[in-house]
Structure 1
Amino acid sequence: MSHPVSGLSGTDHPAAAPAPPLSLVTEPPAALELTARALGMGLLIGGLLAVTNVYMGLKTGWWESGSVTAAVLGFSALASVSRRRGVPYTPLENNLTQTAAASVGAMPAAAGLLGALPALTMLGTSVPAWGVAVWSVALGALGVLAAHLLRRRLVAQEALPFPTGIATAELITAMHASTADTVRAGRGRLLAGAGAVAVAITAARDALKWLPGMTAMPGTLAGLPAASLTWGVGWSPMLLAIGMMTGPRLGLSMLAGAAVAWGVLAPGLAGAGVLADTRYETLSAWLTWPGVGLMVGSAMAALLAQARDFLTAARDLGSLGRGTAVPPWALGAGLAACVLAVVVGSALFGLSVPYMLLALVLVLPLCAVCARGAGQVDVSPVTQMGQVTQVIFGALLPGAMAPNVAAGAVVSGAAAQTGVSMWSLKAGHLLGASARHQLAAQLVGVLAGSVVGVPVYLLLSRTHGLGSEALPAPFAHQFRAVAEVAVRGLDGLPPHAALAACVAVGVGALLTLVSRGRAARWLPLPVALGIGFILPAYYAVTLCLGALGLAAARWRWPRAADRDTSTLAAGAIAGESLAGVLIAALMAFGLA
């Protein structure tokens, strides 16, 4: 499961010791790689990933990097057909398919559609669609180029693990070595079946209104109906699937956060008369502050633990001039992306040219930190890098809220694409792929991702409203809160929210530091705790049910659960996301 917004991108594998570069597949010199079918399939799968990531990210904060999923879908779609036509679909083509798809799928995060841009909307800054599209292309291209500049140092010389990249390469190798067409066909049917069920449930819930958004929990808390505090079980295949993919620890952590927020604090605030009313919007506005505090405290502690990576990043940058594989035309594209970013940043976000140039100067070193994190522990600390930038600009531009968020978006957007690109480059390195072919596929993916992601974002935001119960956009609250504190301090917060936020910062930092030891498996994840504060309670309940249901299935049917979980979950997430976007389009045109 991915979330380069604060380390939810990639799986949380322990760091492995660097190993010498390994080639998993030896291809003849004439092996096909950058072909129309490989690139076209990658863009198609990536488009589906981009739609899914916008929908899922605005609802829950999670998004999927998609490398493994794209490799499976590309192979399922092309391998048998290509073999029958006498031109086999090669492992290098499959790698290029997943490379392009991952680049497209990462664009919602790179463009800031899941955090920074919703935060700007909440702050009253409106950005035209053309500006969002140009902005996204510029940041996505910078992130891709940063990854290729760092490739030689981190992938070839140090051979950092990049576990997602290794898993992708091993999967491609295994699929192309296998002749079990019946197994692959079975997985395809499972994916399609899960998607069809998710589409049906989403249509019955959102379009036909046969199902409620949630089945409310009976009873009261402090005199308030549990349903008014959003307690219940949601009719959402996507939430169940996210729980299946992220596991019990994250699900239980999120449920614990919801229990404290919506089971203790919200009823307490209502009973004490602290807030003017007990509507969801009012309660959520207060609970956002301790929720963000947990995430910020965790980010601060993680940055402290990564201090060595900041020093190492300087060595990474010092090696860029030696033997880089980035062609001159790509460096020209990077210069053009910088010019576009400066123009859009100054014209639409109020960042003057000198400050925009400063933000661009921070991109490469902070992307290097994210790339090293992705290589060592498979987690790219994207949000943390954006927050570092926000704090810097809060000191430089006091009182400027929108420029503060925009500056954070420059770094976090480029870093999101860098992390995903590094996983693809690691897989390509192991498979013997051409880095230049991967670079071309990734840059084409950046263009395609902006074309797909921006319209979907605008459609969903205008139909449901950002920050609503239907579209909570949890990480937009984090961007906005950090900007408000960096610019104005703690003034203007709701009553007692400042104290709650400060306590939460300490709790988040403590949990992060302590969880680096043996007690990690027994402690809640502070980021998931914080998200439990921000989302409606039934999101956490439903997600946790998915996680615990899978744990029970794995205990009873371990082989089947390990084999089919990712396929089943991917189908459910894609089905609800695509149906949700289609229904939003019908609503926008007055047809639903």
Structure 2
Amino acid sequence: MSIERVPQLTFRAVLLSMVLAMILAAANAYLGLFAGLTIATAIPAAVVSMGVLRLLGGGTILENNIVQTGASAGSSIAAGVIFTIPALVILGYWDDFRYSWVLAIAGLGGLLGVLFSVPLRRSMIVEDPLPFPEGKAAAEVLKAGENPGPGLKILALSGAIGALVKLAAESGMKMIPDNAVSSGFVGKFLAYMGTNLSPALLGVGYIVGLNIGIVVLSGSVLSWNIAIPIYHAFFEAGDPALAAQIAGASAGDAAGAIWSAKIRYLGVGAMLIGGVWTLFSLRKSLLSGIKSGIAAARKGKGEAVAETERDLPMKWMLIALVLFVIPLLLLYQAIVGQWSVSIPMAIIMIVAGFLFVSVSAYLAGLVGSSNNPVSGITIATILFASVVLVLLLGRDSPIGAVAAIMIGAVVCCAAAVGGDNLQDLKAGYIVGATPWKQQLMLGIGAFSCALIMAPVLNLLAAAYGIGAPTAEHPNALAAPQATLMASVAKGLFGGKLPWTMIAIGAGVGALIIAFDEWLKARKAHFRVPVLAAAIGIYLPLELMVPIFLGGLLSYFVERKHNVAFDDHDGKDRIHRPGTLFAAGLITGEALMGIAIAVPIVLTSRADVLAAPAALHFNQWVGLGVLTVVGWLLYRTSSKGMPH
């Protein structure tokens, strides 16, 4: 049967894709606010699609490809939103997440990401192909889709496990704690260690692998086991307000206060230098990719093009670009009230959007969407936008920081979707799909996700809190990237930041970059991406420990099956059942976290689901539960996919 006659963009495929996209967007929003990371969702979506369409009478490989294409927008739109938009609440500009504004930023930003990425397909996938590891893995899953039942069973089982553990945890029934932590004083030095007991973080670690797990944990060890003890022992007296806050506090509380006020800004500095370095190191590849993509688009005019090579028409892309930019221009005008400022904001957004979509697509091609440093790209955008806005509005402008965040939010959504789009197009290229149909489906999926982001964010904010802990929400979702974006923008517009710590962090970041370049020159398999290290420096230690443990489990699986570090095809094949199990843990826990928020908000009681006190267990029980989950993850992946 010719490609033209194989069903692709069917009504049922579009509907299923939209539903999965919204579910996975909600799950990734929770995960990103909680841990500062999101995961690619194409493979779980492909498995679910194959199972559902089989129940509906069978689906073609190209229908399933369309479903996973649209559903994968759930991770990219969620990342673009939660990395930036909560900063508007953290800055105090919004009291809650305004539906129409979030929809405009996320929806239009996502659609711009699709448009900007279209000219890059030919250069990065056809003419000078990049690996796109997750796209290749998704294609292999689609090609092996004759028997999706075992994969669905793995997803269902692990999703139930993740949901039940989350229900039993501190925010639900309070049967087991969220963390297992030990701290104390060794002489005048603080000692602190611990781990979060989240199965989702274990799953994240399994997916990102041991290399990233080691890097993020090392960053946290630098903060919590080196920088905090040194600051407490030698520099605390130089800050009387912080010293008074810590006086008489437990070791754990003292460590938390020092980290919050001072040490986490080392991560800010490392992220800033990392974002700038990312752009600088990709300058040649970026220009080459843009030139070849535009040349390919011009070359195709007036020529007969095969169905498998047809992108969205350039003419309609340009018309859509204008139509999408106009409402964003009006949105910027509503913020600043000066056309002389809002027009440059729109221009910055367009230029930075195209530039950073290209960067994001290139990075996704090299290291995959899950490891794509979109947050570093967004920091660079906000810094550049802030400098321009300082010149236009002045450093004391009350809306300068907000305007910079608004630009960064659109660019972040576009960059996240752009990288994801190329990943999906790689899978489509392998299985023989029609590019323009995938591009259209990703636009539909992105806008579908944007429809539900504001309600999800408002629900999570009301139930758990977002940003800094408060008396009402002592265990608030950290929203690390959004907090960082707010700090950077505010610091450039009259706010006060611990610039000494940021400068030291930038120096640490420069050393990490130099070390990574040395490893690269030696062609070492192990690498130290600076943005991954910066995330570790910036986040609590207990969040990084289970990510490292999950990466360790993936390494043991590779050793058991004798798979080399750089054997991507072999790793994809071996890890497929483990990846599905890990994705189920993440999705189940995240969706239960959202479900738990509903009764908390309705009753205004954080303990509404709490079990009787006799059923509240200590951290050793929680560690036991996490150990069992880890064993199940290892066992599932070690056995391989059943037939």
User: In structure 2, what is the equivalent of residue 445 of structure 1?
Assistant: 445
User: In structure 2, what is the equivalent of residue 357 of structure 1?
Assistant: 347
Q: Does the C-alpha gap of structure 1 residues 525 and 384 become closer, same or farther in structure 2, counting only changes over 3 Å?
A: closer
**Where do 5+ consecutive residues of structure 1 fail to align?**
1-25
Whichever residue aligns with residue 425 of structure 1, its letter is L
Distance 1:99 1:523 in 2: 30
Q: CA deviation at 1:115?
A: 1.6
User: In structure 1, what is the equivalent of residue 52 of structure 2?
Assistant: 77
User: In structure 2, what is the equivalent of residue 581 of structure 1?
Assistant: 594
User: In structure 2, what is the equivalent of residue 199 of structure 1?
Assistant: 163
Whichever residue aligns with residue 149 of structure 1, its letter is P
User: In structure 2, what is the equivalent of residue 287 of structure 1?
Assistant: 263
Distance 1:374 1:546 in 2: 22
Superposed CA deviations along residues 281-315 of structure 1, whole A, max 9, x for unmatched, are: 55223122111222222333332221202432551
User: In structure 2, what is the equivalent of residue 456 of structure 1?
Assistant: 456
Q: Does the C-alpha gap of structure 1 residues 374 and 240 become closer, same or farther in structure 2, counting only changes over 3 Å?
A: closer
Match 1:239 to one of 201, 204, 213? 201
Q: CA deviation at 1:479?
A: 2.1
Whichever residue aligns with residue 116 of structure 1, its letter is T
Secondary structure in structure 2 of the residue aligned to 1:210:
coil
Q: Does the C-alpha gap of structure 1 residues 315 and 149 become closer, same or farther in structure 2, counting only changes over 3 Å?
A: closer
1:417-428 alignment to 2 at 5 Å?
417-428=417-428
Given that residues 213 and 234 in structure 1 are in contact (C-alpha distance below 8 angstroms), is that contact kept between their aligned partners in structure 2? yes
User: In structure 2, what is the equivalent of residue 411 of structure 1?
Assistant: 411
Q: CA deviation at 1:554?
A: 4.5
Given that residues 74 and 98 in structure 1 are in contact (C-alpha distance below 8 angstroms), is that contact kept between their aligned partners in structure 2? yes
Q: Does the C-alpha gap of structure 1 residues 458 and 404 become closer, same or farther in structure 2, counting only changes over 3 Å?
A: same
Identity %: 27
Match 1:49 to one of 24, 43, 48? 24
Q: CA deviation at 1:389?
A: 2.6
Given that residues 267 and 534 in structure 2 are in contact (C-alpha distance below 8 angstroms), is that contact kept between their aligned partners in structure 1? yes
Given that residues 294 and 505 in structure 1 are in contact (C-alpha distance below 8 angstroms), is that contact kept between their aligned partners in structure 2? yes
Q: Could you state the TM-score of these two structures normalised by the residue count of structure 1?
A: 0.85
User: In structure 2, what is the equivalent of residue 326 of structure 1?
Assistant: 312
Given that residues 516 and 528 in structure 2 are in contact (C-alpha distance below 8 angstroms), is that contact kept between their aligned partners in structure 1? no
Q: CA deviation at 1:524?
A: 4.0
Whichever residue aligns with residue 197 of structure 2, its letter is W
Q: CA deviation at 1:485?
A: 5.5
1:453-492 alignment to 2 at 5 Å?
453-467=453-467, 468=469, 469-484=475-490, 486-487=492-493, 492=496
Match 2:330 to one of 343, 356, 360? 343
Given that residues 249 and 525 in structure 1 are in contact (C-alpha distance below 8 angstroms), is that contact kept between their aligned partners in structure 2? no
Distance 2:550 2:208 in 1: 9
Given that residues 289 and 481 in structure 1 are in contact (C-alpha distance below 8 angstroms), is that contact kept between their aligned partners in structure 2? no
1:92-171 alignment to 2 at 5 Å?
92-110=62-80, 113-126=81-94, 128-171=98-141
Whichever residue aligns with residue 308 of structure 1, its letter is K
Secondary structure in structure 2 of the residue aligned to 1:208:
coil
Deviation larger for 126-135 or 348-357: 348-357
Whichever residue aligns with residue 475 of structure 1, its letter is Q
Match 1:249 to one of 211, 226, 231? 211
Superposed CA deviations along residues 173-218 of structure 1, whole A, max 9, x for unmatched, are: 222xx4xx4xx43332222111111111111112111111112225
Superposed CA deviations along residues 472-520 of structure 1, whole A, max 9, x for unmatched, are: 12212332344355556xx833384244234223223323423423364
Q: CA deviation at 1:318?
A: 4.0
Q: Does the C-alpha gap of structure 1 residues 487 and 502 become closer, same or farther in structure 2, counting only changes over 3 Å?
A: farther
Distance 2:71 2:433 in 1: 16
Q: Could you state the TM-score of these two structures normalised by the residue count of structure 2?
A: 0.78
Distance 2:598 2:190 in 1: 33
Match 1:372 to one of 362, 365, 368? 362
Kindly indicate whether residue 179 of structure 2 is the aligned counterpart of residue 214 of structure 1: yes
Given that residues 221 and 267 in structure 1 are in contact (C-alpha distance below 8 angstroms), is that contact kept between their aligned partners in structure 2? no
User: In structure 1, what is the equivalent of residue 640 of structure 2?
Assistant: none
User: In structure 2, what is the equivalent of residue 90 of structure 1?
Assistant: 60
Deviation larger for 515-524 or 201-210: 515-524
Superposed CA deviations along residues 9-48 of structure 1, whole A, max 9, x for unmatched, are: xxxxxxxxxxxxxxxxx75542111112212221222222
Whichever residue aligns with residue 155 of structure 2, its letter is L
Secondary structure in structure 1 of the residue aligned to 2:144:
helix
Q: Does the C-alpha gap of structure 1 residues 471 and 222 become closer, same or farther in structure 2, counting only changes over 3 Å?
A: farther
Match 1:298 to one of 270, 274, 285? 274
Q: Does the C-alpha gap of structure 1 residues 222 and 201 become closer, same or farther in structure 2, counting only changes over 3 Å?
A: farther
Secondary structure in structure 1 of the residue aligned to 2:72:
helix
Distance 1:553 1:174 in 2: 21
Q: Does the C-alpha gap of structure 1 residues 403 and 535 become closer, same or farther in structure 2, counting only changes over 3 Å?
A: same
How large is the RMSD of aligned CA atoms in angstroms? 2.8
Q: CA deviation at 1:221?
A: 5.0
Whichever residue aligns with residue 133 of structure 1, its letter is L
Given that residues 370 and 419 in structure 1 are in contact (C-alpha distance below 8 angstroms), is that contact kept between their aligned partners in structure 2? yes
